[in-house]
Amino acid sequence: MLDIAGELERVINSVRNEHLTKIGSGLNRNVYRINTDKFGDQYKGKVVKYAQRKPTIQDNRREFQTWMSVKGTRLEEKFCPIRDRSQNFEFLIMDYARPDSTYKRGGIEDTQEKIENEFKLGDGIHDLHDANFGYHDKYGLVVIDYPWGGDFVHES
């Protein structure tokens, strides 16, 4: 797996940054869109989730574990795909899924219900709300923020 963490960190911390656009942030992570092929053609247009402090890399680790749990299942297309990660989980690189207000409610409720019905989570699915959904060009409505970890069981 390609570890581009050092170069991404240098770019994120630079004063003038034409390679990344900050598109969001949460309690523990900043989210950037890659504007250039500086990191390779396969990364242009993708999203970087960057842990703001070393102790907060657990959100990225849990999100990657969740992705690995759904990958290859019939629910895979309901989750925005993770394409790469840094070795220490400081960064995740995933597809871009644009926010789209037309998906407020109806579609989100259906997707949330399907996810809740097919997965049994020890801690329950948390933080699943409108802002954590987006529209993926290939898959349609997808969950874009899912740091629940791999501790849930898929119902076959």
Q: What gap in Å lies between CA 39 and CA 130, rounded to an integer?
A: 31
Q: What gap in Å lies between CA 38 and CA 120, rounded to an integer?
A: 41
- Give the residues of the chain that fall short of pLDDT 70: 1-7, 9-11, 13-16, 100-130, 150-156
Going from N- to C-terminal start, the domains of the chain cover: 5-154
pLDDT of residue 121: 45
Tens digit of each residue's pLDDT (9 = 90 or more) over 39-83 = 888 889 999 998 877 777 898 999 999 899 889 988 888 899 999
pLDDT of residue 67: 92
Query: Can you tell me whether residue 133 is helix, strand or coil?
Result: strand
How many C-beta atoms surround the C-beta of residue 135 within 10 A? 18
CATH of 5-154, one of 1.10.357.140, 3.40.50.11540, 3.90.1150.10, 1.10.510.10: 1.10.510.10
Distance from chain centroid for Cα 90 = 13
Tokens of 105: 């409610």
**Is residue 29 a contact partner of residue 64, using CB atoms and an 8 Å limit?**
no
What's phi and psi for 97, nearest 5 deg? -130, 115
> Cβ-count burial of 60 within 10 angstroms (0-12 exposed, 13-18 middle, 19+ buried)?
buried
pLDDT of residue 14: 62
The verdict on pTM exceeding 0.85 is: no
Residue type, 84: D
